Structure formats: structure tokens, C-alpha cells
Amino acid sequence: MLPDARIPAGPMAEKWDNHKFDMKLVNPANKRRFKIIVVGSGLAGSSAAATFGELGYQVEVFTFHDSPRRAHSIAAQGGINAAKNYRNDGDSVHRLFYDTVKGGDYRAREANVHRLAQVSVNIIDQMAAQGVPFAREYGGLLDNRSFGGAQVSRTFYARGQTGQQLLLGAYQQMMRQVHLGKVKLHTKKEMLDVVVKDGEACGIVTRDLVSGQVEAHSGHAVVLATGGYGNVFYLSTNAMACNVTAAWRAHRKGAYFANPCYTQIHPTCIPASDEFQSKLTLMSESLRNDGRIWVPRNPDETRSADQIPEADRYYFLEEKYPAFGNLVPRDVASRNAKTVVDQGLGVGPLKNGVYLDFVDAINRDSAEVIEEKYGNLLQMYERITGEDPYKTPMRIYPATHYTMGGLWVDYNLMTTIPGLYAAGEANFSDHGANRLGASALMQGLADGYFVLPYTIGDYLAPRLQKKLVDPSDEVFTQAVAGVQDQTARFIGIGGTRSPDHFHRELGKLVWDYIGMARNATGLEKAISEIKALKDEFWADLRVLGTADSLNSSLEKAGRIADFFELAELMARDALDRRESCGGHFREESQTEDGEALRDDENFAHVSAWEWNGSDQPQTKHAEQLVFDEVHLTQRSYK
Amino acid sequence: MSNTLNLTLNIWRQDGPNGPGRFETYKAPGIPEDASFLEMLDLVNEELIAQGKVPVEFPHDCREGICGSCGVMINGQAHGPERGTATCQLHMRKFSDGDTIDVEPWRAAAFPVIRDLVVDRSPLDAIIEAGGYISAPTGTAQDANETPIPKEVADSAMDAAACIGCGACVAACPNSAAQLFTAAKVWHLNSLPQGQPERYRRAQNMVETMELFFGSCTNHGECSEACPKEISQDFIAYLNRDHMKAKFFNRKLASQR
């Protein structure tokens, strides 16, 4: 049974305010009696930890990085949305809410999205007060840019390093709490299990990545802010260490995993060039403000880009979607790029990309203006490809970037395990089947700054007499032993193939069958091939070195083992969802002109999967989505 | 398929902070010139694993020059020969067939080696903890446009705030000083209107903490040269000015004299 999502009653615009008043409070003097564990130090984790500390809770933060500032939020480039309407162009909380529900192809929970839009304005205020150097106009006021899926300019940015600046803001605010003794920071410790006693989360088990020590930590509540699972594709724009392990171990302990098949393929990344490639690099969506996307009309085109006259260029997004043009949402842009490349119109040595061209923008605004807006991105492109994007159009192609699916949470961001919360990309809640650009930073900070600090008190208030579970308790010793056993098992296999080998092979399967386009035959094939590869992994893995020192092969092995299980569930979820929506495109379900065709009658629900043990498949629970405010239509960006 | 290089690598191997270190020499044949420096190390590690040898530990994560995790000395230069480039964005096309490349961890007393090429950079977090923030608790903020900030000021703050905390400045400095790292954060915050109330105590506290771990600055300028974000040495002058002023004007100290 899926627990109640606890969506407050009342009109949409009043739900959050009413709910804040209805929730129980912990009085200031009692807050210090509670210990909250936060796992992950990205936007959601750092901002939550800082705010819990300010409120007076005891906080312990765990990150597997050497510093909290390394969390992958740092790599977000383009910006953060907020319904400030500083441009006077018709934006409002309602419009941001509406755009986000529509952009998510009507598969998000309305009440959560509305709350997100409401607090978006507070985030900008908060971050500006902390000294985040947002881009400004000469008059000293904040500047905005446009992002996909919106017809207003509501995206705030700090050059092409918005994620970095926001994360450093949240990190600095957390370090202030570390200085004040409210937050205790644990670096280089990877969470490898959630511990549950009497049906409530009571702590975590970590492995110290330097000493190999496996440790138990108890808390009154646990927040997982551990990011998404895009690295299941092996090649993605995620950092190398991004993984699903914390969320997955929670899933194995009883937290339902929602909509795993909703993965976002970002349209503008540098195309893969070779087998050795370890990751794909994103080029911010903001580039689509000024860059024009095209391919040559002739598949046998041999001229260089600048020699191809206008008439022989196919600006496929501008032609198909005149209203939104190059700024259609990510899923639409990605699928169209795939279509033209599949038609043989691709560019570059492997014919696996499309052009993103700045010539018109440079002629209109000058190279200096373009450099000021996108300089660091264009420089990054030049470093990687050895080509100058001011002269030659950039080559781009879609790549896995973000995962909308994640741990199922209720309106309070609590998972199906009481006392265990999931925030940021780790939960499933706000983006439906497709996330709009510049909304991930918004959601991470909304969850950490403005949602969890309220909702966690509602859980803790009645548990004032609850004692921390002692780390010597059986629930902890068993969990510790489980982690130690698994570590020993990896080293003991003594096979012939490295962890990276299996990760790369798994990634190929996931990309081929659970990538941008999916069909029943492929998904069934994926399930059987993933299983076969998983068996090979457990029989032929080679992890060298020891368990009591820094050993990145060992760390990877644990993460890949979880990716295998996740990949299988992704395939099963994709197979079960016999409709297309957002980033989930089932070839069997498309409109006449190839757009995603939803089936609202049968699939206007969240699929939340319950773990049943390693030897049998998960059970699906459906949370019906109710749309009171937004009218369900076929999405059109034409 | 890109052109390939045949390389010889001298890589520093060290089992732990207290163990002795040594260079080990590895042949790296057939390295594609489109590979990044870290992808080259991936290929070396795959080969080591195939031979049953423990792979080289090296720091890395985002591989797009922003997380600040990576960083090794390449032929004695922090992040290698290309200006304004972190190790992850250095590509092998910058090297030639037949090259011998020395690869070492950051060398600084404040950054003990954890294993092989990985060092402990936690003193940088300690500097931030000492004052690298603006005290603005959640919920207290006014509307963001209530405080206009001249574009030049915001841009200059951003130039300083671009620091990725990799530690190359320390590794490149003959004194292992962390002035550029500290100055970048101090100037980011001290130049903004929001940073004024804590301006002088920030400068003083961060410098004092810095001096617990790191050497002194003698204006060699190696830090800016090595910085993958090309952060200007000028910020160190601003740091010194604010630190000096803090010494004169610190009201708390005044009552103790």
C-alpha cells in the first residue's frame, strides 16, 4: 500500500501556507535534543544542513567527497528559475507553476510544483543576501535570460557557473554552522546503508573511504540529498562519482522508488568521440538563446559549415516549432536531434551531431557580447574539441543529464520509511516526466531551504521522548556486517574484468534500449541482457587492492552493483508505462507527426515500486495524479 | 579515430600518508590525442588492472573543470602546461609522441598525501569555515533588487568567486602559501555591499586560519600562473589591504590593548 501523499486540502495557492500553519512545531530549546543526519552536500543537502543548524538542531553531514564544495550541483551552468517577474513580461507564480507542470508533460504532482513556484522568489532573495554574484544590469539590478519551455525571461544566472556560485553560497552558509558547532561535517565517508528500527529510520552506515572503517551513525531523522542516477548510462554529463547507491540502499530497506524510467536526455552536449571517452560534457541550454540549431539538408554534404548557403540548411527546430523555435523543452529538442541524425543528416566525423551556430548572434551583437554571456562555455568547448566555436559552429548531440525519477516522497518530502526524507534530484517529486532547464537548482534549494526545515519538525515534534538508537544495537551491527560482507565479496571474486568494463557494457545496454526511444521488444531484451551481464559481473569482477585503504575500484564496484538492479527496474518501469510522456518515449505511442502521445486515461499516475528482495521483481503501486488547476492537453510548442 | 601517442609515464606511488613514496615508470602506448589527461590515466589503470597490478589513485570527479577535485603536477607544473586549464581539461593533443611525463601529487606540507596522487586539502575548508561566508540565515533576506550592485562590482566579485578550490595555487607556490585561494574568497565577499558588516573580521579570521596551515606569500605570482581559472594576483593586494585595516580598526581588539 502506498501511503497517503498528504497533499493539503484547500485552494492550490493556499495549500502550502495552510500546511505550514497546520504542522507541529518543535520549540527552540527542544530542537537541540534532535539529531538530523544529512547525506550529500549539494544544493539540497548543504542548504538543508545550514538551515537545520540555524534552527538549532544537531546536524551531521556526510559526503564522500573530500570537501562539500565538490558536490555535482557545482557543475550546473545556465541558471535558476524564479517567478520574480522582474522583466515585466507577464511572469507569475501561477505561470511558473503552469509551465513546470506542462513542461513535465502532466506527470508531476500539482501541489508540489505550486509550492516550488511559490518559494522560488525567496531563493533568489536568500542567495543574493548571501553574496552570490548574480549577473546584473548597469543599473545594478538583476539580469535574466530565457530558458526552454518558457516564453518569459525568468532565469537568473552567474555567467555560465550558476550552479557553482549557488553551491558555494549554500556551502559557505553550512560552513558557518560548522564553525558555530551546530553542524558536524564528515568528509570522505560514503553512505552504504539506511538503518531502520521499529519501522522508523534511525541512522546510517558509512564506509570511510580513506581507512575503510565501516561505521554506524544514529539520528532521529535522515535526509538523503544524494542526487540522481544518470550514470547508469555510463556516458552522461554527471560527474564520475555520481551514483544511485544511497537511494538504492534505502529502496532495498523499504523506500519506494518512483518513475525510474523518467530520465532526461539533454539536447546540447559535446558528441562522443571514441571508446575511451569517460563522460560527456554539457553545453548549457542557455546557448540556445543565441545559437541556432541546424543540419545540412543534403546527407552527402561535404562543404564546411560556413560554406553552406542558407537555403541548404535545415533549421529543424525553428521550422517545426515556430513559436518556441530553438527554445523548445529538452525532451523535444533531443528527440528532434536524434531524428535528423538517424536520417543521416548528422555532422562531424562520426556524423553524430548537429550544429549549434553563433554566427548570426555574433553578427548581430558582436563577438564580445557573446563572449561575455557564454565565454567559459565556449572556452570549455574549445579545450575539449580543439575547435573554435566563434568561427566554426559547435557540434552538439543529446546526452543523459538528469533523472526525474527517484525515491517516492509525500508532500513533506518523506519517503515510505518514516523519518527518512529525500530532497533534490534524489526524490521524484516536482518535474514529472521532463524537467525544464534551470529548475533543478531551484528545486534543490527549495527543498533544502524552504521545505524540509518546516516539514521535518512535524515528524520530530511528537518524538521528543525518543532516544537515539545505540550504534551497538542489533539493527546497526547487522547493517555494518552486511556492508563489510559485500566489501569482502567484491575483493574475493578475483575475476578478470575491471569495474569500468562492466559499467561501460551496462551503459551501452541502457542507452540502446532505455535511451531516447523505447519499445516493448527492446525493453524485454534489455531486462534479460542486463541480468546476464549482472551475473557475469558477480562472477568475473576484478577488484585489486585492499578494503582498508583508499580504493576507488572498490567504491565503483559497489555503485555498479546497484546500477545493475536499478537498470532492470528502469526497463520494467518503461515497459509497464505503455504511453509516451516527456523524456519517456515509447515508439508505440506517438502522434502522427512523431510527438510523444500520452495516455491520460491509463497512465496519469506515479509508479512507485516496492522492493521484494533480490530474487523477485518489485511490486508497482500507483499514485493517481489529480489535476485541479492545469488542464491536460497535448503539449504543443508550435 | 584520432592520432595516437606513445608515452612513458613516471607516476608517484605512495601507499599512505606515512609510507615512503617512489616513482614508478609505465609505458603508455597508443594513447589517442583526443583523450583528456585523466582519460589517459584511465587507460593506464585499465592496463594495470589487466596485469593484476593495483591501479593508480588520482583525484577527479566532474571532468569539466569546475568541481576542483582533480589536479596533479605534470612535469613539475600544477595542472600541466596549458594556461587556465584544469588537469581534466588538458588534452593529450598538447603532448607529442615519445614524450616522457612526470606525474606527481600536489606538494605542500598542508596537503599530506593520502594515496598515490590524492592529497588531503581539508585546510582549505578550514579557511572558509573561519569566515568565508556572509551571515544571512535562511528567511531573513529582503527582496533581491533592494540592493543594487554596480555591474562592475558584481563582475569583479564573480572574477574572484570563480575559484574552484583545487589547490593548484598552493602547489605552485615555492612557499606553499594559500594567499590566492584566501584572497579570492575575501575579495568576492568584501567587495559586495552584503559583505560589508563582516568585512574586517572576515579578513582577519581567514588570514589567521590560513597561517596555521600554509606558508607566507612573497609575491612570486606562480599561483595566478597555475590557476585554472586565471584568478588575478591583484586580489592578494586587496586581501592585504583589508587585513591591515582589520589590524588597525578591529574594535574588539581595541578594548583589549
- Please report whether residue A311 resides in a domain: yes
Closest residue by Cα to residue A356 from A372, A378, A329 = A378
Q: pLDDT digits over A579-616, tens only? A: 999 999 999 999 988 889 999 999 999 999 999 999 89
Of B39, B52, B154, the CB nearest to A133: B154
Last residue of a domain, one of A352, A373, A398: A398
Determine whether A303 is an active site residue.
no
End-to-end CA distance of chain B: 71
Q: What are the E-state strand segments in A558-602?
A: none
**Residue whose entry in the numeric block shows the C-alpha cell 535534543:** A33
Q: Is A484 on the interface with B (CB under 8 A)?
A: no
Question: Residue A373: what pLDDT?
Answer: 83
Q: Is B62 on the interface with A (CB under 8 A)?
A: yes
Q: Do B32 and A274 touch (CB under 8 A)?
A: yes
Grid coordinates representing A354?
548537429
Q: Do A240 and B62 touch (CB under 8 A)?
A: yes
**Is A374 found in the same domain as A487?**
no
Q: Do A384 and B89 touch (CB under 8 A)?
A: yes
How many beta carbons lie within 10 A of that of residue B252, not counting itself? 9
Biggest CA-to-CA distance, chain A: 76
- Please report whether residue A387 resides in a domain: yes
- Please report whether residue A510 resides in a domain: yes
Question: Residue A512: what pLDDT?
Answer: 93
Q: A127 contacts in B (CB within 8 Å)?
A: 144
Give the integer Cα–Cα distance in Å for A216 and A498: 29
At A376, the pLDDT band (50, 70, 90 cuts) reads confident
Q: Which run of H or E residues covers position A427? A: none
Domain boundaries, chain B: 4-115, 121-254
**Is A481 found in the same domain as A389?**
no
Q: Which of A106-115, A368-377, A431-440 has the lowest mean pLDDT?
A: A368-377
At B250, the pLDDT band (50, 70, 90 cuts) reads low
Question: Residue B245: what pLDDT?
Answer: 93
Top-confidence residue, A636 or B28: B28
| Nearest chain B residue to A500, by CA | B46
With contact defined as beta carbons under 8 Å apart, do A369 and A390 qualify?
no
Q: Is B172 exposed, middle or buried (0-12, 13-18, 19+ CB in 10 A)?
A: buried
Residue range B90-106: mean pLDDT, rounded = 97
Give the integer Cα–Cα distance in Å for A380 and A282: 10
Residue B255: is its pLDDT beyond 80? no
Give the integer Cα–Cα distance in Å for A526 and A506: 10
**Is A390 found in the same domain as A480?**
no
At A505, the pLDDT band (50, 70, 90 cuts) reads very high
Give the integer Cα–Cα distance in Å for A368 and A379: 13
Question: Residue A139: what pLDDT?
Answer: 96
Give the integer Cα–Cα distance in Å for B160 and B185: 7
Q: Do A131 and B157 touch (CB under 8 A)?
A: yes
Question: Residue A537: what pLDDT?
Answer: 98
Give the integer Cα–Cα distance in Å for A132 and A163: 10
* Rg, C-alpha atoms of chain A: 24
Question: Residue A638: what pLDDT?
Answer: 83
Top-confidence residue, A620 or B2: A620
Residue range A64-76: mean pLDDT, rounded = 97
Q: Is B68 on the interface with A (CB under 8 A)?
A: yes
**Is A503 found in the same domain as A390?**
no
Last residue of a domain, one of A350, A368, A398: A398
Q: Do B49 and A65 touch (CB under 8 A)?
A: no
Nearest-CA distance from B19 to chain A in Å? 12
Q: Is A272 on the interface with B (CB under 8 A)?
A: no
With contact defined as beta carbons under 8 Å apart, do A447 and A65 qualify?
no
Give the integer Cα–Cα distance in Å for A132 and B161: 9
Question: Residue B251: what pLDDT?
Answer: 63
Give the integer Cα–Cα distance in Å for A386 and B64: 15
- Please report whether residue A290 resides in a domain: yes
- Please report whether residue A57 resides in a domain: no
Q: Which residues contact A137 (CB under 8 A, 6 or more apart)?
A: A143, B151
Query: Which residue range(s) make up the domain with A500?
Result: 476-599
Of B84, B129, B149, the CB nearest to A140: B149
**β-sheet bridge partners, residue A395:** A355
Q: What is the CATH number of the domain that holds A311?
A: 3.90.700.10
Q: pLDDT digits over A325-334, tens only? A: 999 988 899 9
**Is A481 found in the same domain as A391?**
no
Residue B257: is its pLDDT beyond 60? no
Question: Residue B256: what pLDDT?
Answer: 62
What single DSSP character describes residue A218?
A: E
Grid coordinates representing A476?
546497526
Q: Architecture of B121-254 per CATH?
A: Orthogonal Bundle (1.10)
Backbone angle region of B76, left / alpha / beta, with phi > 0 → left and psi within -120 to 50 → alpha: left
Q: Do B115 and A549 touch (CB under 8 A)?
A: yes
Give the integer Cα–Cα distance in Å for A150 and A512: 31
Q: Do A498 and B115 touch (CB under 8 A)?
A: no
Q: Architecture of B4-115 per CATH?
A: Roll (3.10)
Give the integer Cα–Cα distance in Å for A594 and B203: 59
Give the integer Cα–Cα distance in Å for A473 and B36: 48
Residue A464: is its pLDDT beyond 90? yes
What single DSSP character describes residue A581?
A: B
Q: Do A130 and B188 touch (CB under 8 A)?
A: no
Which of B40, B67, B186 has the highest number of chain A CBs within 10 A, making it the mutation to test binding with A? B67
Q: Is B148 on the interface with A (CB under 8 A)?
A: yes
Q: Which of A49-58, A206-215, A384-393, B73-82 has the lowest mean pLDDT?
A: A384-393
With contact defined as beta carbons under 8 Å apart, do B80 and B74 qualify?
yes
Length of chain A, please?
Answer: 638
**Is A486 found in the same domain as A375?**
no
Q: Is B115 on the interface with A (CB under 8 A)?
A: yes
Which parts of B90-178 fold into alpha helices (H)?
Answer: 122-129, 151-161, 168-172
**Distance of alpha carbon A425 from its chain centroid, rounded?**
4
Closest residue by Cα to residue B238 from B150, B133, B159 = B159
CA A390, A393, A396, A401 torsion-angle sign:
positive
- Please report whether residue A591 resides in a domain: yes
CA B206, B211, B217, B222 torsion-angle sign:
negative
Provide the 3-class DSSP secondary structure of residue A147: coil
Residue B1: is its pLDDT beyond 80? no
What single DSSP character describes residue A166?
A: H
Residue range B233-249: mean pLDDT, rounded = 94
Question: Residue A370: what pLDDT?
Answer: 92
Question: Residue B120: what pLDDT?
Answer: 98
* Rg, C-alpha atoms of chain B: 21
Q: Do B161 and A276 touch (CB under 8 A)?
A: no
pLDDT mean across residues, chain A? 96
Which parts of chain B fold into alpha helices (H)?
Answer: 37-50, 122-129, 151-161, 168-172, 179-190, 199-213, 222-226, 234-249, 251-254
3-state helix, strand, coil in chain A (%, to 5): 40, 15, 40
Q: A122 contacts in B (CB within 8 Å)?
A: 139, 141
**Residue whose entry in the numeric block shows the C-alpha cell 564553525:** A179
Grid coordinates representing B196?
560589508
Question: Residue A106: what pLDDT?
Answer: 97
Give the integer Cα–Cα distance in Å for A280 and A269: 7
Q: B60 contacts in A (CB within 8 Å)?
A: 240
Question: Residue B252: what pLDDT?
Answer: 63
**Angle A186-A189-A193 from CA coordinates, rounded to 5°:** 115
Q: Which residues contact A160 (CB under 8 A, 6 or more apart)?
A: A77, A78, A284, A286, A374, A375, A376, A377
| Nearest chain A residue to B92, by CA | A384
Give the integer Cα–Cα distance in Å for B201 and B214: 20
Give the integer Cα–Cα distance in Å for A289 and A279: 25
Grid coordinates representing B137?
540565515
Q: What is the number of domains present in chain A?
A: 2
- Please report whether residue A107 resides in a domain: no
Give the integer Cα–Cα distance in Å for A337 and A324: 16
Could you please report the per-residue DSSP string of B1-67? ---EEEEEEEEEEESSSSS-EEEEEEEEEEEETTSBHHHHHHHHHHHHHHTT-PPPP---SSSSS-S
For A:547-586, CB contacts with B below 8 A are 549-553
Residue range A407-413: mean pLDDT, rounded = 98
Backbone dihedral angles phi then psi of residue A186, each to the nearest 5 degrees: -120, 110
**Residue whose entry in the numeric block shows the C-alpha cell 563582475:** B155
Q: A178 contacts in B (CB within 8 Å)?
A: 129
Question: Residue A284: what pLDDT?
Answer: 83
Q: Is B250 exposed, middle or buried (0-12, 13-18, 19+ CB in 10 A)?
A: middle
Residue range A276-294: mean pLDDT, rounded = 90
Q: Count the alpha carbons within 13 Å of B208 in the hemisphere toward its beta carbon.
A: 12
Question: Residue A148: what pLDDT?
Answer: 82
Last residue of a domain, one of A369, A398, A427: A398
**Residue whose entry in the numeric block shows the C-alpha cell 598515490:** B116
Residue range B237-245: mean pLDDT, rounded = 96
Give the integer Cα–Cα distance in Å for A101 and A436: 10
**β-sheet bridge partners, residue A624:** A605
Closest residue by Cα to residue B180 from B229, B135, B111, B109 = B229
Grid coordinates representing B252?
574588539
Q: Is B66 on the interface with A (CB under 8 A)?
A: yes
Q: What is the CATH number of the domain that holds A581?
A: 1.20.58.100
At A379, the pLDDT band (50, 70, 90 cuts) reads confident
| Nearest chain A residue to B68, by CA | A70
Q: Do B61 and A65 touch (CB under 8 A)?
A: yes
Interface A-B, measured as beta-carbon pairs within 8 A, has a size of 218
Q: B55 contacts in A (CB within 8 Å)?
A: 544-545, 552-553
Q: Of the residues A69, A330, A395, A577, which is catalytic?
A: A330
At B115, the pLDDT band (50, 70, 90 cuts) reads very high
**Is A273 found in the same domain as A393?**
yes
Closest residue by Cα to residue A422 from A262, A126, A194 = A194
Q: pLDDT digits over A197-241, tens only? A: 999 999 999 999 999 999 999 999 999 999 999 999 999 999 999
Residue range A317-345: mean pLDDT, rounded = 93
Backbone dihedral angles phi then psi of residue A206, each to the nearest 5 degrees: -125, 160
pLDDT mean across residues, chain B? 95
Q: Do A66 and B158 touch (CB under 8 A)?
A: no
